[in-house]
Amino acid sequence: MKQKPLISVIVPVKNTAVLLHHNIDTLTSQTYNNLEIILVDDESSDSSGRICDTLAKKDSRIKVIHKNAAGVSCARNAGLDIAKGKYIGFMDSDDFVSLNFYEFLYNTLIENDADIAQCDFVKTPIQQALFDTFDPPIQDEEKVETYTNDEALRLLHDDNLHTCLKTVALWNKLYKKELWDGIRFPKYKKYEDELTTYKLLDKSKKIVSSNQVLYAYIQRNSLLIKNNFDMHRFDVIEAYDNYLLFFKKKKSPDMLERVSRRYLRMLCMIRDDISSYKIGFVNKSQTIKKVDQKFSSVYKYLKTLLEKHPELQDRQKYHQEYYQKYQDIIKYHNEKNKEFFISF
């Protein structure tokens, strides 16, 4: 029997020792066994790097790269630079997959003559990941849909948040390797999926999507107490500015409205987070001012866009809702700060 093509799976690793053995097992046990598994240790401070080396000794399909704390984007780029597979996949080292994950994606991609195949995912508590294998939830009858690049780009900014996440995520997909020619992740950035996936979708002629849930995205944040605002949150602002430039070139008023609307929603969340988390007082004031100015700019742009395109006027109610939400966030935190200083 002819061997199926090689799939390169790139796994950035950073301080996930507690999960690493368990989750890489879901790759080495795949029903599609012609895999190249590239573990990129991003200078972990726990035993993750040593575990990667141990795993490589046990399975010749595993290759290990040790990097100097350059971040997840650089780790993925390092994997892409040495990948030999005809197809590319990604997995986060604290997630895990169904044992037929890559066989399913490969068959779906080939049967539909697509450039990208994707499945659905489920968010999973870390406690379940520690003690269970991935047991996919009971699912509806399989439904497969195919999209052109423009249709997939529209889903990237769909009104349904789960649809957006499913479309933008890197790790629930299988890609033809040639899609990555000339495309790499931006160095030292977070939200690298928002900054990269749209380029791959635009480059594709056909994207195929299944409703089957074969990827478990592990939720760890619930176990952590966040006291500080992560300034990398501003990387997503860069991503949305890129989206606007991209769809301006495509001359798509519909997509410009959709992107701008999601932009307002995201700025609401960032404004609330900045006001809630600890950050240096001077930096906090400057950062809030920056976000307020960005919100005002995007809102004004939307207003102008609707004036030029009356066919989009029925969406104005959504913009007003986000405007009011933003004002409510400002009011809430101003009153909260006032109460603090009075009590102090």
The residues near 282 (Cβ < 8 Å, ≥ 6 apart) are none
Assess contact for 176 and 87: CB atoms under 8 A: yes
Average pLDDT for 157-175: 95
The one-letter amino acid at 169: A
- Please tell me the predicted confidence (pLDDT) of residue 344: 35
Q: At what angle do helices 192-203 and 235-249 cross, to 10 degrees?
A: 20
pLDDT at 52 over 80: yes
- Please tell me the predicted confidence (pLDDT) of residue 341: 41
Average pLDDT for 115-140: 73
pTM: 0.90
pLDDT at 167 over 90: yes
The one-letter amino acid at 81: D
- Please tell me the predicted confidence (pLDDT) of residue 281: 46
Domain-wise residue ranges, the chain: 7-223, 231-343
At residue 233 the predicted structure's pLDDT band, cuts being 50, 70 and 90, is confident
HSE of 1, CA atoms in CB hemisphere, 13 A: 3
- The percentage of residues in the chain with a pLDDT greater than 70, rounded to a whole number, is 88
- Please tell me the predicted confidence (pLDDT) of residue 124: 78
Q: Can you name the CATH fold of 7-223?
A: Spore Coat Polysaccharide Biosynthesis Protein SpsA; Chain A (3.90.550)
